[in-house]
Amino acid sequence: MTTLKQTFPFILFFIVLTFLVRNNGFFWDSIVLGSGYANWYYTTDFKHLFVPDELAGYPPLFGMYLALGWKLFGKTLLVSHVLILPFLIGIVLQAYILVSRFVKPRYTFWVLLLVLLEPTLLAQATQVAPDVILVFLYLLCLNSILGGKRAVLALALIFIAMISPRGTILVIALYTSDVLAGLIGKKERFTFKLLLSRIPAYIPSFIVTCIWLLLHYQHFGWIFYNKDSDWGQGSQLVSLGGFIKNLVVIGWRFADFGKAVMLILLAILLIVAYKYKKVQRDTVLLLALIFTPLVILSGVVVFYQNPIAHRYYIVVFMLMLLLLGHLLQFISSVKRLVAYSLTVISLLAGHYIVALYPDWLSKGWDGTLAHLPYFHLRDKMISYIKENDIAVSEVGSAYPNLRTFELTDLSNSSEKFEPKDLSTQDYIFYSNIFNDFTDEELEELNSNWVVIKEFKDEAVFIRLYKRNK
């Protein structure tokens, strides 16, 4: 009864949120990883394991799940969003279990609220996104490690590895966390036997992953990424300057969207706890659970040109907020209330910090609720284009607005905007959501083109430019 009482408001919130965004189309990488994969399996009736070469590179589980849901309940945006809801509820329940391990009962609800207010988690919850499933599975694995449920852990590891390549990387993070939990939480000695004792639960995931990679290589002749695909260039190694830039971007991700207050408070509380020798074993364990995925994920993505998104670190952000809630238990009630309130306010206000960023700066719109107006504004602009007899195919645009309407809106339309080319096209569909316009292109639009229509709502705007002849 306690669990239901504590978690029900959050479960109800995600149910209402799912209803409110039921008509929002696929967005950002979910267009390919979600509707792209799912549409292939749906239209081919699961006759082929592998998607076309231009889509390939990711495990198929998420696309298959969506396609099966479409087969059973209908190929609609509503069904797509509802298919994500069970995993949102699962996140609430797993987060509650995890919070309960590190926080006293009287603080559990408030710390759970803090953890679930993580901005990028909320943003991904409004999308049909595989990262929601990834977060659920990671929390399930952590709770299985801490609770000694090795069979559940072994099963969950198979699924997390088959959701995305990042899931495969996180399996390594979970094994490391498993070992550290034994050392810190159970006071085991660091021995070769300890390392071996954790391996059996990871063997099924390892076998399934190897089989998938082998089959993939036999079919395509490559694994991990296709150098000829849209994102192939992003999988190239960076220069020293690119490496340093990636480190800066990772640091920015951890301070962005209102999390700077969290970082400052964590630093203060940890310094005070260390100074007065009040660091508890649970505190050290939480720090280990935070730094393990942080270091392992960063140790991979920092070497590649692929943009580093906020959503890569959702579980790390959530664990940091849990650590903050854990540390707030040990200070006075007045200081606790002030620190808690500042954190909540900063997390909520952080969704709209993107409105302060200049247009030329690439922003992680899929990591903030500020992107939500984009969908109805896009619909209005498409209606305007058609009402004025402008062919969609004659309008240039940018990612994530280049796929067919069938993939973005599930509208059974093969219409799509073409990649922008300011030297040949007469119309450009632009939004500050897009990150692919160069500084020179933005200057060209502002200097030599005319805005014939603009729609704006909150931090998002969409403009239709026409060449000034």
Tens digits of pLDDT across the chain (469 residues): 577 789 999 999 999 999 999 999 999 989 989 999 999 999 999 999 999 988 888 899 999 999 999 999 999 999 999 999 999 999 999 999 999 999 999 999 999 999 999 999 999 999 999 999 999 999 999 999 999 999 999 999 999 999 988 999 999 999 999 999 999 988 888 889 999 999 999 999 999 999 999 999 998 888 876 666 555 555 678 888 889 999 999 999 999 999 999 999 999 999 998 887 778 899 999 999 999 999 999 999 999 888 899 999 999 999 999 999 999 999 999 999 999 999 999 999 999 888 888 877 888 999 999 999 999 999 999 999 999 999 999 999 999 999 999 999 999 899 999 999 999 999 999 999 999 899 999 999 999 999 999 999 999 999 999 998 7
Instruction: List the one residue out of 34, 296, 24, 302 whose CA is nearest residue 164.
Output: 34
Domain coordinates in residue numbering, the chain: 2-356, 372-467
What does the DSSP 8-state code read for residue 417? P
- State the Cα–Cα distance between residues 312 and 283, nearest whole angstrom: 24
Instruction: List the one residue out of 4, 175, 169 whose CA is nearest residue 93.
Output: 4
Q: What is the DSSP string of 437-455?
A: --HHHHHHHHHHEEEEEEE
- State the Cα–Cα distance between residues 364 and 28, nearest whole angstrom: 10
Residue 95 confidence (pLDDT): 98
17, with CB counted inside 10 A (0-12, 13-18, 19+), is middle
Residue 278's Cβ-side half-sphere holds a number of Cα atoms within 13 Å equal to: 13
**Is the preceding omega at residue 400 within 30 degrees of 0, hence cis?**
yes
Residue 469 confidence (pLDDT): 73
Ramachandran region of residue 412, left (φ > 0), alpha (ψ -120 to 50) or beta? left
Q: What is the pTM of this model?
A: 0.95
